[in-house]
Structure 1
Amino acid sequence: MRRGPFRAGAFRSPAHGPRTAVVVGRWLGAALLVCFATGLISHLLQDPPGWLTGRLPSRPVDGYRITQGLHVISGLAAIPLAGVKLWAVYPRLFEWPPARSVVHALERLSIAVLVAAVLLELFTGLLNTLQWYPWPFPFRQTHYWLGWTATGALLVHLAVKAPQLAAHWWRSAAPPLAERRALLAATAAAVGAVTLTTAGQSVSWLRAVDLFAPRRPDRGETGLPVNRTAVQAGTTAVPADWHLTVDGPGGYRIDLAGLRALPQVTARLPIACVEGWSASAHWTGVRLRDLLDRAGIPRGSTVRITSLEESGPYRVTEMPAAYADDPLTLLALAVNGRELTPDHGYPARIIAPDRPGVLQTKWVARIEAL
């Protein structure tokens, strides 16, 4: 009854084996753990729990750019590694009978959870870099919990397989094998090629070989790409009488001409998005702290920022005091020497150091103290 790839003896390559699985597993495990740790940082920055509120740092300026770049780079590198790892253990996936005991059944169930969670995590993460969401569930929350599931299943798997890992960890554990060496060399070349041709979206000195990354950060209006356009946000028609409202003990309203008349500051800051791309630009505008001081809002205050856009998960964002008080946090009116375009947040947008791009609110209409 067992035919084709399910039949006994169907896998004859000597490269199938525990030594191959251990070597590739080390690489894959490292990529997954880096991906998980950096993804956790991104989640905490976007949706900090109560105990972390007020403790998020605004420095280093490039902090989020580095961690999110590593997140996407390690996630992309894990895709070919996961494929080779499954190939190495493929014969074991179709052992017969499927379960020889209760313990064996639980072990195989944990492997099934691990494989399913890792593949779904990598698949959804890859499509997120393309901003394509062909599923009905929310990406960010699902991706977050899949990360915990995959990491937990990985730790269980490592504990169960600890004896085999120890036995095959060192090169002397298995005789030299040309097929295995060729497979590992091809795997390393594939991972290197994927990394070199996609990492340029976040690593500027690799931009010359950025052939397959979803975004080229040096292209777009004013030299910067955009994720959400003014058309998508419904903000193409900014009211002629637009004004910024700053709510506080001495709250006030100020129009665009009034903002331009205030002391202007230019800062070179990166904008880094969850999809992995990032780029630096020269932003010019008014220090957010100056606007808050004028409204009598004390230092150490969390502020809420509201956009003109009609809907969207980031229409309203909260900015902890560390960012609001940072002298580099601006209500930007221009970028790279040019007035903001509608897609970049005209008439005014927030730009702050070490902050995810989705929280750099565009088309700002109101700032209020909490």
Structure 2
Amino acid sequence: MSGTFSRLRRRLPSPPRLPLDSALHEPRTAVVLGRWLGAAFLVCFATGLISHGLQNPPGWLRDHLPSRPVDAYRVTQGLHVISGIAAIPLLGAKLWTVYPRLFARPAVRGVLHALERLGIAVLVGSALLELVSGLLDTVQWYPWPFPFRQTHFWLAWIAVGGLLLHVAAKAPLIAGHWRRGTGPAVTGRRAFLGGAALSAAAVTLLTAGQTVPWLRRADLFGARRPDLGPQGLPVNRTAAQAGTAAAGPGWRLSVAGPRPYALSLPELGALPQHTAVLPIACVEGWSASARWTGVRLRDLLDRAGAPPGARVRVVSLERGGPYAVMEMPATYARDPLTLLALRVNGEALDPDHGYPARIIAPGRPGVLQTKWVQRIEVLT
């Protein structure tokens, strides 16, 4: 039997092997890949700062965040996830191109060389961890003990700082191979670069439909289908996961301000109703638009005697969770499109979408569109 297997194995062709001494391990290929990867990283970094600033605005910025355009966060966070996913195959191609230098001997040739290699190690490690953790966040899988959002934010600064230092250290080499035609001609370079570009384009095309409507039919590998879920909308956190008790006939919205009051659900429904088409855009990269109907938040604030520039605190029935309490600047609270929504797409809110009432506002991250609203407080 063993002889039969040996004869069969000799007849089968050997699998192709990636040559360790490939001519593609050269500066021009690395520079071209570095340009593409750097562009993806910078777009991802800039849009990530916007996302972080909207979720956790510093005091000096908090009251100056714009509520328009209504799709602003949908676009910036979509670009953040799209550029991050596109960077994954580009980083793989870049590391393959330069890896012989990463393991060159001697490992250290002096103090400056040691610092350069340490910087490269920090850059590669932070970039890999940043992209992998971001990809896992899109599927809401967190197999680590540290908080994702804060770690992701600071890793981004480390990665971009390392990138800038690396570019500065390699500036002469980059400048010497920046233009087409510099350096010797290398067989297979065009095919290799084309393959890397095609891989980045493919993962973009097959995942971007979760936030880009006209690419929705090609959304084969996106973490979320924006048209699947209760009432045709996805849900990140269900009512059961949030631990919210079902709102019965005794539920009342409490509005605290200079003239506090409380309203039952029928009383809210008897107030003037307004409709707005607004997106839910989540940090995981998916977004979906819907037609929301409810009471304008500014009408509720006026009834409570809120000053025009007052911020608002919204408290959810959700038990615990980092977003059970949300603060909203006046720019959002006074926007005529900001609603305490009671209906979506003509139907009463599903419990997973925040029944009996939820906040929907233009230009805000989905985690700040508070569901299961119990109390609204005027902050003066």
TM-score category (smaller protein)? over 0.9
Letter in 1 for 2:284: E
> What's 1:305 paired with?
314
CA deviation profile, 1:271-330 (whole Å, cap 9, x unmatched): 100000001000000000000000001211100000001110000010001000000000
Distance 1:299 1:221 in 2: 36
* Contact residue 245 and residue 317 of structure 2 kept, 8 A: no
Q: Could you say what secondary structure the match of 2:188 adopts? A: helix
Within-5 A mapping of 1:76-87: 76-87=85-96
Identity score, percent: 70
* Contact residue 272 and residue 279 of structure 1 kept, 8 A: yes
| Structure 2 unmatched ranges of 5 or more | 1-18
Q: Could you say what secondary structure the match of 2:294 adopts? A: strand
Q: Of the candidates 317, 330, 334, which is equivalent to residue 339 of structure 2?
A: 330
Q: What do you get for the CA RMSD once the two structures are aligned?
A: 0.8
Distance 2:193 2:78 in 1: 26
Q: Of the candidates 190, 202, 217, which is equivalent to residue 199 of structure 2?
A: 190
> What's 2:348 paired with?
339
Distance 1:53 1:72 in 2: 24
> What's 2:186 paired with?
177
Distance 2:144 2:246 in 1: 31
Q: Could you say what secondary structure the match of 1:279 adopts? A: strand
Q: Of the candidates 257, 276, 280, which is equivalent to residue 271 of structure 1?
A: 280
Residue-pair matches, total: 361
> What's 2:11 paired with?
none
Letter in 2 for 1:335: V
* Contact residue 235 and residue 342 of structure 1 kept, 8 A: no
Task: Give, in angstroms, the shift of residue 110 of structure 1.
Answer: 0.2
Q: Could you say what secondary structure the match of 1:298 adopts? A: coil
* Contact residue 309 and residue 315 of structure 1 kept, 8 A: yes
* Contact residue 236 and residue 342 of structure 1 kept, 8 A: no
> What's 2:49 paired with?
40
Q: Of the candidates 229, 235, 260, which is equivalent to residue 226 of structure 1?
A: 235
Q: Of the candidates 134, 144, 156, which is equivalent to residue 147 of structure 1?
A: 156
CA deviation profile, 1:218-268 (whole Å, cap 9, x unmatched): 111111000000000011422430100000010100010000000000100
Distance 2:272 2:187 in 1: 68
Q: Of the candidates 6, 15, 18, which is equivalent to residue 24 of structure 2?
A: 15
Letter in 2 for 1:257: P
Distance 1:14 1:79 in 2: 23
Q: Of the candidates 54, 70, 79, which is equivalent to residue 61 of structure 1?
A: 70
Q: Could you say what secondary structure the match of 1:96 adopts? A: coil
Alignment TM-score, normalising by the size of structure 2:
0.94
* Contact residue 244 and residue 318 of structure 2 kept, 8 A: yes
Task: Give, in angstroms, the shift of residue 178 of structure 1.
Answer: 2.9
| Structure 1 unmatched ranges of 5 or more | 1-9
Which structure: larger Rg?
A: 2
Q: Of the candidates 81, 99, 112, which is equivalent to residue 90 of structure 1?
A: 99
Distance 1:216 1:176 in 2: 45
Letter in 2 for 1:298: P
* Contact residue 22 and residue 168 of structure 1 kept, 8 A: yes
Alignment TM-score, normalising by the size of structure 1:
0.97
